[in-house]
Chains A and B, each alone.
Chain A
Amino acid sequence: MGSLFDTLYDILFQPLIAMKNIGEQKPISQAVIVFLSSIVLPIWALYFGLKMIDMPEIVNVVIAIKVVSGIMIWVMGSAIWHLIAEFFGGRGSAVGLFAALGFVYIPWIFIIPLWALTTLMPTSSKVLLMTISVLAVLLWSLYLHVIAIKEVHQLSTATSVLVMLTPMLFVGLICVISFIFIGSAITHMPMGL
């Protein structure tokens, strides 16, 4: 494994090779540094960005959600995706996937220059541009998730997408079933006064 600079360059410009190397060499310390930087630095942008569009009241909630969800998705996501990947025939290691998923948050750092650019735009288009930049970064990050699962577990792209989406589909399914049961219970509840 090369230096952190080499890994970062590869993640940005040749993610397939980078994720394969990370999966094999499991650079946990580098992953932790990158993960923390990818979470902490954009929070600064988030703080000033939300203040700029006059939404300071949601700053604390958004920051709390971002930090907690980031850590939970990294740690728990690694375990869950590893299990699902093994079900789908994956052959990678859990530690390798954990290290690779530490690097998938790098795109969030680019929210800083993107939001800095939006400050130069007219006020009316600020919210739209900020939303577009968040969506772009989110898609990039999701793409890195798929690449990480694919390269670490040596699965096809389609299977990797399925592995990544399975927990979400499972949660969605539980919500739908719960909704059906709760709805059914409510409609059968005696409503007399």
Chain B
Amino acid sequence: MYKKSVVIVIGIVILLSLIGLAFRGGSKAKVNQTEKIAIIYVEGVIIGGRGQSNMFVEQGGTDQVIKQLHAAQEDDSVKAVILRINSPGGSAAASQEVGVEIKKLRAKGKVVVTSMGDVAASGGYWLAACTDKIYANSTTMTGSIGVYVPYANWEELYKKIGIYQEKIKSGAHKDILSPERPMTSEERAIIQVMVDDIYEQFVAVVAEGRKMDAQEVRKLADGRIYTGNQAKQLGLVDELGNMYDAIDGTAQLAGISGKPEIKEYGKQSPWNMLFGANEQASSLLEKVIFNQARNALNSAAPAEISPDKWQVK
């Protein structure tokens, strides 16, 4: 009986401790529930799709960024989001897709602030323009508001190495931008209209986001890059400062009192460390060069001229 009583008392102490722990942990979680600032990283070339993925993780590509923005939107504990951009730009469609998600996040009443890293140009600036406030370092490379479609004519090279391609086309412009023949003036006009259309969409996004007149944006949007300092003077950036300045500013903007709790999205989990594709292992420069080369090849060389279709004579 004595042994039973002792064990029961110990059991009660353990049970009470368990409940106490649950309350302490729960109350801490509740306090933090409305005080978080999420940080979402946009790094490298902005390109649609899932990026690198394996059995356990998936990273790179705008699908991941969109997922993170969506998660921040759904998470009631996240009051504001900082978009940490370190990107030279990329695909217009991918930038637009992320931009739309940022607008949805803002429509939900959450503050979205941009903190620019080394580079936040072109598509990177497209995203920044969709946010409430932009922070940049004074030496950040930004701007590059404009659109281009790369085209390379490799006709002479193909002749030299004896590659000839025959095409059976369903329409006159099906092989537009093919690298093995010169572009016709009609094709050039078609592409120019497309470029102008995307450019106007870009200008509209910047004008809306920065509350500027479209004509005023067009003057700045000749494709040139600006330093953070220049961009601030031109009204393309709100404040000069690093990520911690952006965190403080975001906390103020979101009305968070005291030190805000930071929730980093896309942070390396133990699974990522063990099995993940490590984005940080390659430098930003390597990624930019690789992806730009890939983009150029994709744009300039449609699928039907892939090497397996070449004829070597």
Contact B8 A5 (CB under 8 A): yes
Contact A113 B4 (CB under 8 A): no
Contact A5 B7 (CB under 8 A): yes
Contact with B along A1-12 (1 / 0, CB 8 A): 011011011101
User: Chain B residues with Cβ under 8 A from A72's Cβ?
Assistant: none
Contacts A9-B6, A57-B270, A58-B270 given; does A116 touch B28 at CB 8 Å: no
* Residue in chain A with minimal CB distance to B6: A9
Asked if B267 is an interface residue, CB under 8 A from chain A, the answer is: yes
Contacts A9-B6, A109-B14, A112-B17 given; does A57 touch B25 at CB 8 Å: no
Contact with A along B15-29 (1 / 0, CB 8 A): 001101110110011
Q: Output the residue of A48, A51, A115 with the most chain B CB within 10 A.
A: A48
Query: Which of the residues B13, B14, B18, B269 comes within 8 Å of A57, measured between beta carbons?
Result: B269
- Count of chain B residues with Cβ under 8 Å from any Cβ of A? 21
User: Chain B residues with Cβ under 8 A from A2's Cβ?
Assistant: 3
Contact B4 A44 (CB under 8 A): no
Contact A51 B28 (CB under 8 A): yes
Contacts A6-B3, A9-B3, A109-B14 given; does A116 touch B25 at CB 8 Å: no
Range of interface residues on A (Cβ < 8 Å): 20 to 34
Contact B270 A45 (CB under 8 A): no
- Chain B's nearest CB lies how many Å from the CB of A42? 10
Q: Can you list 16 A-B contacts with CB-CB less than 8 angstroms, sorted by A residue number? A: A6-B3, A9-B4, A41-B18, A45-B17, A51-B25, A51-B28, A61-B270, A109-B14, A110-B14, A112-B17, A112-B18, A113-B17, A115-B21, A116-B20, A116-B24, A119-B21
- Beyond A5-B7, A57-B270, A113-B17, 10 extra complex contacts between A and B, CB < 8 Å: A45-B18, A48-B21, A48-B25, A51-B28, A52-B24, A57-B267, A58-B270, A109-B14, A110-B14, A117-B17
Which 6 A-B pairs rank lowest in CB-CB distance, beginning with the nearest?
A48-B25, A116-B17, A9-B3, A113-B17, A5-B4, A48-B21
